Amino acid sequence: MQSKKNMDYRPFEEGANARRLCPTGYEPAHWVRAQEGAPFELLVAVVVMGFVLLAGFRVIGILQLEECKGKLDSNLEELKTAIENVAHGEGQRTVAYTKPSCFPEPDAENKSEGSRLEIIHRTEARICSEFCSGARIECTLLAFSSIDHSNWKCLNISSATDFPSSSDCSDFDPGEYEAQQWKRDGILEGQYILVKKFNEFSQQPRICAYRRGN
């Protein structure tokens, strides 16, 4: 029989560092190997947990962006409807535009770097057929553009519809609202009153946009 001295045991440590002992007072070698491998297993667990958290944050970010896109789309639909109603002579309309916070602020110096909402006129049949129903060779679009997202909506109004300068809209007093130049400056965040204007010298439809002051 193999003597106790030749067996693969290690003496235990007494005192504060004492580990759980086998009944003989010696610690088997496989216990030691398991304890020596514990730090590596802990490291693997930490790395895996890090990847799980990273993936979770990424999913949350995607969900928040999709929620922002949904809010923007809903707001653009409200603007589109208000513009079309006024253009068709259904009186004035009050409407608000609020840019979701997940999109960058407008950049006056570099329009490609920020977010911008504007009304644009296009004469490309390919683009008009993409956003508007029917075969059109020209169209008017409500266009939101940002670094990583765009949302264009067809405005079912006459392509001749004009959004005049503030000087051409000065004959209406909306109180604390100020006339805006949508074609030149784009559509800024805020609450608006839209009013259709008539020109005795022209049949061209005109819509004046008044923005509430801060």
pLDDT tens digits, residue range 136-179? 889 999 999 998 889 999 999 988 888 887 777 877 776 788 88
The answer to whether the Cα torsion of 130, 133, 135, 141 is positive or negative is negative
Q: What is the pLDDT of residues 125-145, one digit of tens each?
A: 999 999 998 888 899 999 999
Residue with tokens 């920020």: 114
Which tokens in the block code for residue 13? Answer: 């440590």
Cβ-count burial 146-158 (b if 16+ within 10 Å, e if not): beeeeebbbbebe
pTM of full prediction above 0.75: no
- Integer CA distances (angstroms), 191 to 82, 119, 141, 204, in order: 12, 17, 20, 26
Alpha helices in the chain (DSSP H): 29-87, 125-131, 182-185
Strand-pair partners of 127: none
CA distance 9 to 32: 10
Residue 206's identity, in one-letter code, is R
Q: How high is the pLDDT of residue 171?
A: 73
Q: What is the pLDDT of residues 78-119, one digit of tens each?
A: 999 999 999 988 778 999 999 888 887 776 566 567 889 999
**196 close to 164: Cβ distance less than 8 angstroms:** no
CA distance 9 to 16: 21
